[in-house]
Amino acid sequence: MTKIKLEGQWKGWADQVRWMDPTAISVSSRQIEQVYLIAKHTGLRNADKFSILEIGPHDAIMAYELLKRFGDKIDRLVLVDGAPMLEKCRGHLSKWEQVEYYTVEEVDRIVGEFDLFVSCHCMSETTPEYQNFIYDKFFPVCNELFILQTDSSEYRPESEEHGSRRSPNHKNLVKKAKQYFKEHKEILPRTPSPTDLPDHIKLTWAKGSPDTR
């Protein structure tokens, strides 16, 4: 697997957030919507035991809602984000012992297999090198994949200041998903509470086992 420099990956994101609409960083109602989508589109609902890896949880509202509803069956939930974000997560999730916290710099230390890889509005905001590093490290050890992101370059146009270093790389994601998972679907979600950022919402769902639901 290609080695990359993990230091600075999160800071690079944080430095660019300033030029984004602050409400686009994370909206709690949308994180709750994501729980509905995960329950609908993955094996979580029907599983007896389920492990999840989440990249980019921000303040863990989605993780909190997942644990509140499905905590009895979620036996491992691994969160990866920048250190300040993980502090928020720890604050919200302290009562669940099955949660593990890794900074972006520590991501190499994560071992094991997972039922589900989840990332919402995160991977498309990281560097192409980081996206590939994460996909190549984790897709082979995850049974299902659930990624919510935009594929619209309009959302994050190239700029003189930031170039196109961090950008939706949706075609690359789809290529990787097809490489590692038997089934691949792309869904424009219809949820109970539609978002006001429609171009930011695109669900890429891939799974590795036959659909028995």
Site residues, ligand SAM (CB under 6 A): 9-10, 13, 25-26, 30-31, 55-58, 80-82, 85, 104, 120-122, 125-126, 130
> Is the CB of 78 or the CB of 122 nearer to ligand SAM?
122
- Least Cβ distance, residue 72 to ligand SAM (angstroms): 23
- Least Cβ distance, residue 110 to ligand SAM (angstroms): 12
- Least Cβ distance, residue 52 to ligand SAM (angstroms): 13
- Least Cβ distance, residue 212 to ligand SAM (angstroms): 28
- Least Cβ distance, residue 11 to ligand SAM (angstroms): 9
Give ∠ CA 200-119-155 in degrees, rounded to 5: 20
Residue nearest to ligand SAM (CB): 56
> Is the CB of 24 or the CB of 183 nearer to ligand SAM?
24
> Is the CB of 41 or the CB of 58 nearer to ligand SAM?
58
> Is the CB of 85 or the CB of 142 nearer to ligand SAM?
85
The sheet with strand 142-148 has its strands ordered as 99-103, 74-81, 50-55, 114-120, 142-148, 203-207, 183-187
- Least Cβ distance, residue 175 to ligand SAM (angstroms): 20
> Is the CB of 177 or the CB of 201 nearer to ligand SAM?
201
- The CA distance from 91 to 188, in Å, is 33
Letter string b/e over residues 152-167, b meaning 16 or more CB atoms within 10 A of that residue's CB: beebbeeeeeeeeebb
> Is the CB of 81 or the CB of 144 nearer to ligand SAM?
81
